[in-house]
Amino acid sequence: MRHICDECFGPVDVSYDYGAINLTRNSFHGRVKSLWRYKELLPLRDPGKAVDLGAGYTPLHKSIGLAERLGLKKLYIKNDTVNPSFSFKDRPATVAVSKAIEFNLKAVGCPSTGNLAAATAAHAARAQIPCYIFVPSDIEPNKIIQASVYGAQVVAVKGTYDDANRVLTQAADLYKIGVVNVNIRSYYVEGSKTLGFEVAEQLGWEAPDHAIVPTASGALLCAISKGFEELIEVGLLKECNTKITAAQGAGCAPIVEAFKKGEDVITPIETPKTIAKSLAIGDPGDGAYALRKIRDSKGYAEDPTDQEIIDSIRLLAKTEGIYTEPAGGVSIAALKRLVDDGSISRDESVVCYVTGNGLKTPEAVASQLPKPIVVEPEIQALIPILSR
C-alpha cells in the first residue's frame, strides 16, 4: 500500500485508463442514487463490495431567496448536509473504508476536525471493523458524541488538528491501521471528486462558471477540480471553465493568505482560531496544490470573519431552508463578499458547496438567536405577539 512517492515524497494519485472507460450520459439512467453510480471512475476492484451507506447524490438546490438577495440569476447550493453522517466526508469515507477492507486491513481510523470522525466511524460500523478517531480536544462536543455513538474509540489530543494528525500517523504503521486520510489518502480523495461529477450531471452535463469550496487541507477543492477534468477525459463534459474559489475562516486561512499575497509557499498557522472548527487545519497538506488550482482556474480566495460566518449561516437558513454548520457559512460568506466586490456577476452560474449540517454545531449560532417568547397557556397572551 503506497501512498507517498519514493522519489519526491509527494502524495501518489490514483490514475485510470480513461480510453478504456466507455460511459455516455445514458449510462447513468437507472443507476444507484449514491456516489457509487460513478463506479468506473472510483478505485474499487469490485464496487459490489463497497461499504455503502448511501453517500452522495445529494440535492443541487436552485436558490431563489438567497439568489434574489444577492442579485444572482443562477445560484445553486450543493446541499451535502444530508449525507448519511451529515457531511460531505461520507464521500471519501465510503471509498477509503471500502479500500481498507479490500486491502484486508484490520482497523481504520483518522485524525479529524470532527466530520471525518463521524463519517469514518459510521462506515467502520457498517463494515464491522474497529475504528480509532483522533481529534483536537477543543472540537464541538456533538462531533465527539457522533463518532462515539457509532462505536469508535475516540482519542481527544491536547493540541491542534496537526498534533492529532502527527501522533496517529506515527501509530498507523506500527498498529496496521488504515488511516483514511493518511495512508489510504490516495483513495480517500477519489470519493470527494464525485462532488464535481454530481454537480455537472445535475446541471445537465455542464460545469458551472464558478464553484465556491470551503477549504481546510485543500483536498476537497483539488478533488472537485479533478472531478470536472475527468468528465472531460471520458467525454461526458465538452469543456470546463469553472473558476474555483477557496473559502476559509479568518483565523485559520493559510491558503487564502498565500493567495492574497501572491506567494507560492504556504505559511502554516500555528494556533487556528476560527468558529469554523471543521476547517481549522493550520498546515494544509494539499494547500500548495489547491493554490495552483485556484490560480490556474482564475478563481479567488476569501477569509470571512466569525461574525460574517454566523450571519451567513442564518441568511442561508432563512432564505433557503438549509441549516449549515460554520464550514457552509464560510462558503456563503465568501460568495457574498465576491458578489459585493463585483468579482461574481449577475449572469454567472455559481455553485456554492455547503458541506456540513448545522445540527452538528448548534453552539455556533445559539447565543445570537432571539430567545423564545414565554407565555401563559391562554389565547389572550398571544394577542400582542400575533397582531404585531
Spatial contact of 224 and 213, defined as CB atoms under 8 Å apart: yes
357 near ligand PLP, judged by CB under 6 A: no
Among 154, 237, 279, 309, binds ligand PLP (CB under 6 A): 279
Q: Tell me which stretch binds ligand PLP (CB under 6 A): 27-35, 147-155, 203-211, 215-223.
A: 215-223
Residue 89 DSSP symbol:
T
Q: Which residues contact 272 (CB under 8 A, 6 or more apart)?
A: 160, 161, 251, 252, 280, 281, 282
Among 34, 85, 94, 215, binds ligand PLP (CB under 6 A): 215
Question: Which residue is associated with the grid cell 451529515?
Answer: 86
220 near ligand PLP, judged by CB under 6 A: yes
Closest chain position to ligand PLP (CB): 356
Smallest gap from residue 174 Cβ to ligand PLP (A): 25
Distance CA 37, CA 220 (A): 19
Q: Tell me which stretch binds ligand PLP (CB under 6 A): 125-133, 213-221, 366-374, 379-387.
A: 213-221
Residue 87 DSSP symbol:
B
Distance CA 148, CA 140 (A): 13
Smallest gap from residue 86 Cβ to ligand PLP (A): 9
Q: Beta 349-354 vs 301-302: how paired, if at all?
A: unpaired
214 near ligand PLP, judged by CB under 6 A: yes
225 near ligand PLP, judged by CB under 6 A: no
312 near ligand PLP, judged by CB under 6 A: no
122 near ligand PLP, judged by CB under 6 A: no
Among 356, 358, 361, 365, binds ligand PLP (CB under 6 A): 356
Q: Which residues contact 270 (CB under 8 A, 6 or more apart)?
A: 160, 282
Cα–Cα nearest to 331, from 313, 346, 343: 313
Helix (H), strand (E) at residue 225: helix 219-233
Among 131, 310, 327, 350, binds ligand PLP (CB under 6 A): 327
120 near ligand PLP, judged by CB under 6 A: no
Smallest gap from residue 190 Cβ to ligand PLP (A): 13
CA angle 284, 288, 294 (to 5 degrees): 110
Smallest gap from residue 23 Cβ to ligand PLP (A): 26
194 near ligand PLP, judged by CB under 6 A: no
Among 79, 83, 113, 183, binds ligand PLP (CB under 6 A): 113
- List, in sequence order, every beta strand (DSSP E) within 112-226: 131-136, 153-157, 177-179, 210-214
Smallest gap from residue 26 Cβ to ligand PLP (A): 32
Provide the grid cell at 23: 460511459
Residues engaged in binding ligand PLP (CB under 6 A): 87, 89, 113, 115-116, 214-220, 278-279, 327, 355-356
